[in-house]
Amino acid sequence: MSRELPVPKAVKDLFEELLGRPVTVGIGEPFRAADLKQHPLVSTYVDDGMILRAVVGMDLPLAAYAGAALGLIPSGGAQACIEDKELSANMGENVTEVCNIVASLLNREGLPRLRMYRTFLPGTDAPADALAQLQAIGRRLDLTVEVLGYGGGRMAISYT
């Protein structure tokens, strides 16, 4: 049985429930090599055998807005992080928790459970195999996510 990608509505519902505010989700452009040179957030998901099975990527704006919204940090704090090209410690912890909960979108009954292994925050170097997976053609979902009152950015979900 093959693991299916979540539908955009499931991503929308998860973000709205988690952040407690309206969220708009649409189909977006895929991450390209130039985008990956900007060091986006990269979260890796493994099975019980510690084999990489999925990768989630977020550009810096979405990582900042999602982290700020979860922590009830004013949008100006997120915008300052975007200008500085670095997340604050609080926003980094918050968006890592968002990535941990995204694992619920990746798991299906009857399939081996995936769990978040590690999240590489914007500005840090993610492993080459995870970055390559964000550009791979195949089982992937590229989205735009807009958090009301904050802003939006891009997100990608890719299975290995």
pLDDT per position as a tens digit, 119-151:
999 989 999 999 999 888 888 999 999 999 999
pLDDT value, residue 19: 96
Query: Domains in the chain, start-ordered, CATH in brackets?
Result: 8-159 (3.40.1550)
Nearest in space to 27 (alpha carbons), one of 47, 43, 7: 7
* The residue to which tokens 């995936």 are assigned: 114
**Cα separation, 114 vs 94, whole angstroms:** 20
Helix (H, G, I), strand (E, B) or coil at 146: strand
**H-run or E-run covering 158:** strand 151-159
pLDDT value, residue 156: 96
Is residue 23 a contact partner of residue 131, using CB atoms and an 8 Å limit?
Answer: no
Amino acid at residue number 8: P
- Tokens representing 5? 């990608």
Report residues of the chain scoring pLDDT below 70: 1
CA 55 to chain centre: 8
**Cα separation, 140 vs 6, whole angstroms:** 9
| Contacts of 46 by beta carbon, 8 Å cutoff, 6+ apart | 52, 53, 114, 115, 117
pLDDT value, residue 127: 93
pLDDT value, residue 2: 78
Name the DSSP letter for residue 125: P
pLDDT value, residue 1: 62
**Alpha helix ranges (H) inside 85-145:** 89-106, 128-135
| Contacts of 125 by beta carbon, 8 Å cutoff, 6+ apart | 39
pLDDT value, residue 138: 82
CA 96 to chain centre: 9
pLDDT value, residue 120: 96
pTM: 0.94
